[in-house]
A = this chain, B = another copy of it.
Amino acid sequence: MTAMLKEAQGSFAPLRQKLLRLGVHENDLGVILSRIRTGPRLQRGDNILAARHSANHLTVLMDGIACLYERLTDGSRQIYSFQYAGDFCDLGRHVLEATEPKTVVGAVTECRIGYLENRVLDQLLVQYPSFGTALWRSCVIETGALRATLLSSRQPALQCVAHLLCEQLARQSATGIDEAIIPISQVDLADAAGLSVVHVNRVFQELLAMNLLSKVGRYIMVVDRGRLARLGNFDGRCLDMPKVLSSWNVKI
């Protein structure tokens, strides 16, 4: 019983951390988190949103890594962003009906997801306005990250990949996890960076030679975060959560 609670608590920790940083009041968190229904466990490659295509809920990634992508007519895949524990998978759908119908959210590693029914979500938004603001903020931050990605994609591949890796570290640490290992395959990274796998691999070895990365099994470990960020012109602020709040929040 205690063990179960502990485990449940653990899986909610990233989301709790994220909502806190997004400006949700600590006292409101308990109620909000308690309304989340735990969903299935998914394997790499599974379509997270297709699991319940009905779209009657907001989907939260409770554990693991997912990616938002689109498959092109020629079979190639563009990954727009990776998502980590505590991230909302389909935030746009709530305010915008048929947002990006072609966009898919897939599991990159083994994942566990949670649901928040639309009906419940609506209640929460009315009851806790800071929750709505948090979701809105989340969208604004995502937009900023996307701009940074676009910017980095104009750079040569070495710096582009460096930026991508820094972004992953920053996204992880947004949920309170400060892990230097990025468990993402080169194939996935290539699809995110818009480079060929072959070239990503070459860039990798260059980064290894520069002692910025090292390999842990099949995965990547970032050795020198600072130098990697400078190389990729990564601006950590682009994913920062607010602690200070705008007048909007003071008002409501």
Closest chain-B Cβ to A119's Cβ sits at a distance in Å of 7
Tell yes or no: A51 within 8 A of B by CB: no
Report chain B residues within 8 Å CB of A188: none
Once the chains are docked, how many angstroms separate the CA of A140 from the CA of B98?
12
Chain B residue contacts of A235, Cβ below 8 A: 102
Interface of A, secondary structure class, is helix
Complex alpha-carbon distance, A23 and B61, angstroms? 29
Contact partner of A146 among B119, B147, B246, CB < 8 A?
Answer: B147
A116-133 CB mask vs B (1 if < 8 Å, else 0) is 001101100110000011
How far is the CB of A252 from the nearest CB of chain B, in Å?
7
CA of A229 to CA of B119, assembled, Å: 38
In the complex, what residues of B have CB within 8 A of residue A91's CB? 140
Interface 0/1 of A88-102, CB less than 8 Å to B:
000111111111111
Q: Given contacts A136-B139, A246-B96, are A147 and B80 in contact (CB under 8 A)?
A: yes
Set B93, B144, B252: member contacting A92, Cβ < 8 A: B144
Chain B CB count within 10 A is highest, among A93, A125, A137, for A137
Report the Cα distance A251→B98, complex, angstroms: 18
- Knowing A99-B140, A99-B144 touch, does A151 contact B244 (C-beta < 8 A)? no
